[in-house]
Chain A
């Protein structure tokens, strides 16, 4: 691996000075960045390691909800009893991510900010719109795992397992920047290529994620997370459906979020409106899954896959109501 200088700041000011206009990438555990350096798609002279930053390594709750530090390991999120009780969809999606080894290393912030898993983006021989070239190799190439929605500029999907469930819960992303700490909603944080083809998350120069709030106001026991992948374990999702019903006890406050089928988690308000408790709601919901889809040459299978996941998720969430 190409040698680099490792800078370990302990204050936000030091971190931003060390980062110098994105030339030195931020690193948490490094499970993603080190791979990209080995693949020669990142060649930094310096890396800014955030692990010495205070206040980013704990899970704490207050009146607003549960705060996840950006440096908390995925295993510790999955095993956290209060999160299991109050935000079971979050525990479940995190437990489904990667392997025990990776979950013991990878962090909340790193998971949210990892680069897409597009095999062209991660190959030095294929400069695309995201890394110094133009266009998208996947659009007319090998695209079986790529996006079926919003895929015309770049068809890589958002790889974070946390992303859809954070959007479903209106999670608040606490960001440290040059003007101090600010908050974005998860929906504002995860962005698609039409907003900026170079970024997948809305972090401006020098900014990094400090903490993530799971808001108490979106807790619900009516949840479902259904995911399809090629292998039973340790695989990225080909498609996923997250449902939350009656968030915060408010009747009709639903969320339906698709994962792994678009460059950012995809909220489907039209499907949320179909979840009215009627006998054929699962059918009605699955019938409109394909609206807006524009499959590429090798991934049209994702539409019926999502329809199946949609039906399964509606059944799951209603079974919790009865139980």
Chain B
């Protein structure tokens, strides 16, 4: 096992991601000293002084249209909560400093860097990740355009790019090239596929879809 841990795990059909999720859940179960009921959303709405954490609390968020709950310390960022606690792994953790945009999600329809805000600050709001924009069986017009225009290379920035491009088109269905570039200034693509990404947005804009 110690010689080839990854190989043996893969042979048994356990992916690295599933393994890490399992390990995380076990650690979390051991470390949680209290999990209050569904109080968080209520507390956020009422105007009482609230003290949360530092231990794990149950946090319920509306993600891609459905309520999802998990226990996590209130100091958990929205990105880490989505990925590590809810298993929503579309948003990517790259810089973790609000500089690269790989973690971009929509919060009530607006783009935010999910790495640079707390999960508890998304309570009561609609969180949309790339998973909520289209599925492999039912791609959005923009996702189809990404494939058609070859708008990705390594693909790591792509979930954030798709979310940011969707927001650009939601706000303005006929953006100019400069408006697209300006709208994408918070999303880095280190492969340098910007031109094809801009073309993908323009092609959707021309056909009037999203």
Residues of A within 8 A of B96 (CB): 38
For residue B202, CB closer than 8 A to chain A, the reply is no
Is A10 a contact of B48 with CB atoms below 8 Å? yes
Is A7 a contact of B118 with CB atoms below 8 Å? no
Residues of B within 8 A of A234 (CB): 185-186
- Nearest CB to that of B118 among chain A residues? A30
Residues of A within 8 A of B36 (CB): none
Number of interface residues of A (CB under 8 A): 35
Residues of B within 8 A of A51 (CB): 121
Q: CA A102 – CA B96 in complex, angstroms?
A: 13
For residue A6, CB closer than 8 A to chain B, the reply is yes
Q: CA A5 – CA B51 in complex, angstroms?
A: 7
Q: A3-B73, A6-B118, A54-B47 are in contact. Are A104 and B112 (CB under 8 A)?
A: yes
For residue B207, CB closer than 8 A to chain A, the reply is no
| Interface 9-residue window, one of A93-101, A177-185, A250-258, A294-302 | A93-101
Q: A9-B49, A105-B113 are in contact. Are A38 and B97 (CB under 8 A)?
A: yes
For residue A34, CB closer than 8 A to chain B, the reply is yes
Q: CA A287 – CA B107 in complex, angstroms?
A: 48
Q: CA A147 – CA B163 in complex, angstroms?
A: 38
For residue A75, CB closer than 8 A to chain B, the reply is yes
Is A8 a contact of B110 with CB atoms below 8 Å? no
Q: CA A169 – CA B52 in complex, angstroms?
A: 40
For residue B104, CB closer than 8 A to chain A, the reply is yes
For residue B74, CB closer than 8 A to chain A, the reply is yes
Q: CA A45 – CA B54 in complex, angstroms?
A: 8
Is A1 a contact of B52 with CB atoms below 8 Å? no
For residue B117, CB closer than 8 A to chain A, the reply is yes
Q: CA A14 – CA B47 in complex, angstroms?
A: 12
Q: CA A5 – CA B126 in complex, angstroms?
A: 25
The residue in B49, B101, B120 that gathers the most chain A C-beta atoms within 10 A of its C-beta is B49
Is B77 a contact of A99 with CB atoms below 8 Å? no
Residues of B within 8 A of A58 (CB): none
User: Smallest distance from the beta carbon of B82 to chain A beta carbons, Å?
Assistant: 15
Q: Kindly identify which residue among A2, A7, A34 contacts B51, using a CB–CB cutoff of 8 Å.
A: A7
Q: A30-B118, A35-B98, A35-B116 are in contact. Are A104 and B50 (CB under 8 A)?
A: no
Hey, what's the 0/1 contact readout for B77-119 against A, CB within 8 Å counting as 1? 1000000000000000000111001001001001111001110
For residue A113, CB closer than 8 A to chain B, the reply is no
Q: CA A131 – CA B182 in complex, angstroms?
A: 36
Q: A31-B117, A35-B98, A99-B185 are in contact. Are A3 and B77 (CB under 8 A)?
A: no
Q: CA A2 – CA B44 in complex, angstroms?
A: 23
- Nearest CB to that of B109 among chain A residues? A104
User: Smallest distance from the beta carbon of A231 to chain B beta carbons, Å?
Assistant: 8
User: Smallest distance from the beta carbon of B160 to chain A beta carbons, Å?
Assistant: 9
Is B47 a contact of A52 with CB atoms below 8 Å? yes
Residues of B within 8 A of A98 (CB): 186
Having A10-B49, A233-B182, one finds 15 other A-B pairs with CB under 8 Å, namely A3-B55, A3-B73, A4-B54, A5-B52, A5-B53, A6-B51, A6-B75, A7-B50, A30-B117, A52-B47, A99-B186, A100-B183, A101-B113, A104-B110, A105-B112
CB within 8 Å of B: which residues of A?
1-11, 14, 18, 29-31, 34-35, 37-38, 45, 47, 51-52, 54, 75, 98-102, 104-105, 233-234
- 26 A–B contacts from the bound complex (CB under 8 Å): A1-B75, A3-B53, A5-B53, A6-B50, A6-B53, A6-B74, A6-B118, A7-B51, A10-B48, A29-B121, A30-B117, A30-B118, A34-B117, A35-B97, A37-B75, A51-B121, A75-B110, A99-B98, A100-B167, A101-B111, A101-B113, A101-B164, A102-B113, A102-B116, A104-B111, A105-B113
